[in-house]
Chain A
Amino acid sequence: MNQNSKENIYSLNGFGKVYRFTFKQTIKNKGFLLAAIMMILMMAMMKPLMYLLSRSGDNAAQSMTVTLSTIEAEKLYILNETAFYMDKERAIPVEVGDISEKAVKRENVTIYNLGEESDENLIAGLTAKDILVIIRAEGNDYKMNGIISDNSEVSIRNLDRATSYVGERFRDERKLQLSLDDSDLQSLGAGISTEGTMTAKEYTEEKEYTLTSAEYNGLAMGFALIIMVVASLASSYIISSVNEEKTSKLAETLLVSVRPMALLLGKVLGMLTFVMGTIVCGVLMSYLADFIMTNVMNLDTSKLGQAGINLAIFTGYGVKGLVAFVAEILIALLAFGIFSGIMGSACSKTEDQQSAITVVTMITLIGYMGTMYFGMKSDFTMIGSLVPPISFFMSPAAYVAGRIGLGVFLGSCAIQIAIIIGLLVLGAKTYRNLLLSDSSKPKLQAIFAAAKY
């Protein structure tokens, strides 16, 4: 090849102008702006909506723990055919406050324990305003039937309330007779986590880790999910933005003014700033909503715990965790962003964009699934933390959890930065050819082929 002047395709001259223009025009674009506002609103409304849902849940729960005064009937008969004796004085508490005229009076509640009355007799004696609840043992379980007469005036809603009420009273009786309280029941019902078999060395190592396996898995999956969502979102924006320039036939006009690497990087970083800005605004709005709910409206949001947007993953592991997670997000976004920019330039038509987005999504899925797999296998934590694309998703969590040391984490970051540099070189070599080509396809083979010319 005889060239008297080798052009510097890696020059970043003009990058700042491309970056500013891309960012400003994205903000001015109604489509992008509307999508950003929707996303910010969605993030901001997450906690208030969860609060409203939990309140309706509380109301439902409260309606389940009905009192006698909420049951509209004349008489309530309870036929207890189990071994647990129900004493009316203890089982049916005296109720205070306003009691409706239509509600069942305590004196109209009759309990028949095992052998004291037959169900046939009770059913035969039911009037239109009476309710009968039968409790019987079936194997290891208890079964309850609420029964009303054929010509009953009692509504199904009231029958349900009566059944719930009797069920609660029967449960309390059992607890009392077995001398158990709620914490005993919770302890008995709690699940047992089994970590499988391990060698003595593994057991010793496990004890040295900062986080337990369960905590580590939760952290790794949580972080991988954040990377997957943010990278997928940014990728689709970048692909459509780069492709817009190509389909608008602007490539030639741009390429006589700015070199490919500056054009690619300016475009990618402009879009990434927009995406990250949207996410940061969403997080801030979410915190603002939380603040208003707690401090202005004086609502009790404590029951929601970590529901909604929370940054516990970044703030819960000290400075080390914060730096590791933020650095990894920036590295991953840059890598996926540049790759998406190259894929976008390979799309000849708007319809090709979906194929390009699919390729990027597949790679993020490989990273996510790899994190799921390697996260559970302690033998492969090192491999998962070093091999891209899994390392983008897994390495900071593994580092924070003590699964890998600082050296391995830095090595992982170095590999990822090398990939970014590789992608930039590939972009510089191919971006111009792909933008100028009318027949390129968003396929890796086509992109590498473009680098030859």
Chain B
Amino acid sequence: MGLVVKDLFKKYGEKIVVDHVSFEMPQPGVYALLGSNGAGKSTTIRMTLGMLERNGGEISWNGGPLNFDTCNIGYLAEERGLYPKYSLMDQIKYFGELRGVTGKTLTDRIASLAERLKVEEYLYPEKADEILSKAGVLDTSDEKKSTMALKKKHKPKTADQLSKGNQQKIQFLIALLSDPELIVLDEPFSGLDPVNTDILKEVVREQIARGKYIIMSSHQMEVVEEFCTDITILHRSKAVVSGNLNDIKKSYGRVNVLLKVEQDVSEEIKAVGAEIISEKEHEYRIRVTGDEQANQLLRRLIEKNIPVVKFDLSELSLHEIFVREVGDEAVESKQ
């Protein structure tokens, strides 16, 4: 039965912040919750996870209520936070214990996730030399350092000693500590460098492979396209698009043409009524109305003996769908 969110409604005073939003995840997979800033994504997530009371609607998990007593939840909040001055290990253990993971299970999970996320040197500073040595980045002058300097080096690390990227990896580790069934990732890859993005993506892929329910909120559309099978786009507190990503794309038709030729064909494109989006060294990005117009353009080029190097007809990208639905143009047309 999975997760069912039906007619979710929330208002502050007279202001409606989530207006009858519904979505469901009948089986494991990745569901994307998209929307511009202030669209109601975070409020929807907070209500879904039981952090905020809702004014209306129903949320169920496998037919029963959803809260952290009925479902093992892992949450990476958009607002990243760690206790800045507390030891990393202390706070990781605290969050683990709050989620009911204790003793050896907790220790093993921390060690395993730390290795996967490559944060061992921060969590186990006493083993840092060994870890760095394995990675081939050990400073050999360390051996000459005084006992005092080594003691300082081996002192438990605090959050404020870590870069933002590494702090984010620690928070990701905390979200996965309880081996959750339902994982909510709010902007999981924002602010990460490509290397760390790949590390986190790999862990997310592992979770997908293990059959977890994942809700992902992101502004990075290529990431959503990479992972998500279903989406809901929120705009001004309402769901404007919702459903399977492929079906949604199909519903907009195949309207993008990437054309590469060896001469100027602007006149031919205009002649069939298509729109040139961009052009660079006879490589055109063209917007057509559908398959028929695209075929018409291709026929015309062949008839005129214009050599076609590349002709690629495709659906709208998620980025384009998002802009179309929540961009200024969409707003004006809906008004």
Contacts and interface: CB of A to CB of B under 8 A. Distances in A.
Interface residues on A, range: 20 to 34
B33 to A, nearest CB: 15
B58 A2 contact: yes
B333 to A, nearest CB: 33
B51 A253 contact: no
A436 B46 CA distance: 10
Interface string B251-270: 00000000000000000000
Contacts of A253: 75, 77, 81, 95, 171, 174
Interface string A235-271: 0000000001100111111111110000000000000
B67 interface: yes
Interface stretch (A3-11, A102-110, A330-338): A3-11
B252 to A, nearest CB: 34
Given A3-B54, A18-B98, 8 more contacts: A2-B56, A4-B59, A5-B64, A5-B65, A252-B81, A253-B174, A256-B68, A436-B52
Contacts of A1: 55-56
A207 B84 CA distance: 61
B203 interface: no
B73 A256 contact: yes
Contacts of B53: 3, 7, 453
Nearest to A30: B85
Given A4-B60, A252-B51, A257 B79 contact: no
Contacts of A29: 85
A256 B75 contact: yes
Given A249-B79, A252-B79, A436-B51, A257 B99 contact: yes
A336 to B, nearest CB: 25
Closest 7 CB pairs of A and B: A249-B81, A5-B65, A252-B77, A257-B98, A249-B79, A250-B81, A256-B75
Contact of A257 (B54, B85, B87, B95): B95
B98 A17 contact: yes
A14 interface: yes
B94 interface: yes
A432 B47 CA distance: 12
A5 B67 contact: yes
Interface in B22-55: 46, 49-55
Interface of B: 12, 46, 49-60, 64-69, 73, 75, 77, 79-87, 90, 94-95, 97-99, 171, 174
Residue among B46, B58, B79 with the highest chain A CB neighbour number at 10 A: B79
B82 A248 contact: yes
10 contacts: A1-B56, A2-B56, A2-B57, A2-B58, A4-B65, A7-B50, A28-B87, A249-B77, A252-B79, A258-B98
A4 B49 contact: no
B97 A17 contact: yes
Contacts of B55: 1
Interface in A1-41: 1-5, 7, 13-14, 17-18, 21, 24-25, 28-29
A250 B83 contact: yes
A28 to B, nearest CB: 7
A255 B171 contact: no
A433 interface: yes
Contacts of B50: 7, 256
Nearest to B7: A2
Contacts of B90: 21, 24-25, 28
Contacts of A28: 86-87, 90
B97 A244 contact: no
Contacts of A258: 98
A25 B86 contact: yes
Contacts of B69: 13
A125 B50 CA distance: 102
Nearest to B73: A256
Contacts of A252: 46, 51, 75, 77, 79, 81
A29 B64 CA distance: 42
Contacts of A245: 83
Contacts of A432: 51-52
Nearest to B186: A252
A256 B65 CA distance: 15
A432 B52 CA distance: 8
B58 A248 contact: no
Contacts of A13: 69
A334 B171 CA distance: 33
Contacts of B83: 25, 244-245, 248, 250
B157 to A, nearest CB: 14
Interface in A73-106: none
Given A5-B65, A17-B97, A255 B51 contact: yes
A294 B57 CA distance: 73
Nearest to B65: A5
Contacts of B57: 2
A254 B80 contact: no
Contacts of B12: 453
B43 to A, nearest CB: 10
A4 B58 contact: yes
Contacts of A3: 53-54, 58
A249 B67 contact: no
Contacts of B68: 256-257
B12 to A, nearest CB: 6
Contacts of B94: 17, 21
A432 B64 CA distance: 23
Nearest to A5: B65
Nearest to A21: B94
Contacts of B81: 248-253
Nearest to B53: A453
Residue among B55, B60, B81, B174 with the highest chain A CB neighbour number at 10 A: B81
A256 B52 contact: no
A192 to B, nearest CB: 60
Interface in A249-297: 249-258
Contacts of B85: 29
Contacts of B84: 248
Residue among B56, B66, B86 with the highest chain A CB neighbour number at 10 A: B86
A7 B49 CA distance: 11
Nearest to B66: A5
Nearest to B175: A253
Contacts of A250: 81-83
A249 B76 CA distance: 12
Contact of B49 (A21, A25, A248, A256): A256
A251 B95 CA distance: 12
Interface string A416-453: 00000000000000001100100000000000000001
A2 B66 CA distance: 15
A1 B11 CA distance: 12
A436 B99 CA distance: 20
Nearest to A29: B85
Contacts of A254: 98
A432 B77 CA distance: 15
B142 to A, nearest CB: 27
